[in-house]
């Protein structure tokens, strides 16, 4: 992901999430040196991800597939790329947070061996008000 990708990324982020990352959030991640990728099919962007690696831990900060490409296993391909990059950077563990209501993401993460290790109470805002917990998941790489 580069600054040139941010218009597309931010547009899709807003379409996919009730509480999307801002352009500034993505720009800050790029400036901080976080791993950030845009997946392309036929030269066109279809998905993106942001990951932070600290010491032996990788943390998934954002992964999203454009709505029109969901169900095509692109999330699986992108996640596998992240695992390889995390290992290349010396990570032996991979962490993420996910909404309990996001059944598609939970199924994806479970299918790759992620295990729930805890909850963050009230981590996510809800569109209709209130808060939703996050399930914290971990994978041994």
Residue 18: per-residue pLDDT: 83
Q: Which residue has the tokens 């598609």?
A: 104
SS3 27: helix
Asked if residues 100 and 135 have their Cβ atoms less than 8 Å apart, the reply is yes
Residue 33: per-residue pLDDT: 94
Q: What are phi and psi of 6, to 5 degrees?
A: -65, -35
- Could you report the per-residue pLDDT of 109-141, keeping only the tens digit for each? 999 999 999 999 999 888 788 899 999 999 999
How far is the C-alpha of 10 from the C-alpha of 36, rounded, in Å?
A: 13
- Could you report the per-residue pLDDT of 84-117, keeping only the tens digit for each? 999 999 999 999 999 999 898 999 999 999 999 9
Residue 88: per-residue pLDDT: 96
Residue 66 has pLDDT above 90, yes or no: yes
Q: The pTM is what?
A: 0.92
Residue 10: per-residue pLDDT: 97
- Could you report the per-residue pLDDT of 2-59, keeping only the tens digit for each? 999 999 999 999 999 888 999 999 999 999 999 999 999 999 999 999 999 999 999 9
Residue 71 has pLDDT above 90, yes or no: no
Would you name the residues annotated as active-site residues? 97, 109
How far is the C-alpha of 67 from the C-alpha of 74, rounded, in Å?
A: 11
Residue 126: per-residue pLDDT: 84
């Amino acid at each position: 992901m580069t600054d040139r990708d941010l218009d597309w990324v931010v547009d899709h982020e807003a379409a996919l999430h009730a509480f999307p990352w801002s352009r500034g959030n993505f720009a800050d991640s790029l400036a901080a040196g976080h791993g950030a990728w845009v997946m392309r099919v036929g030269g066109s962007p279809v998905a993106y991800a942001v990951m932070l690696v600290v010491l032996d831990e990788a943390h998934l900060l954002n992964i999203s597939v454009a709505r029109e490409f969901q169900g095509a296993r692109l999330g699986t391909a992108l996640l596998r790329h992240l695992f390889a990059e995390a290992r290349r950077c010396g990570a032996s563990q991979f962490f993420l947070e996910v909404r309990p209501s996001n059944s598609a993401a939970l199924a994806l993460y479970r299918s790759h061996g992620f295990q729930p290790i805890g909850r963050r109470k009230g981590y996510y805002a809800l569109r209709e008000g209130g808060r939703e917990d996050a399930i914290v998941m971990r994978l041994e790489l």
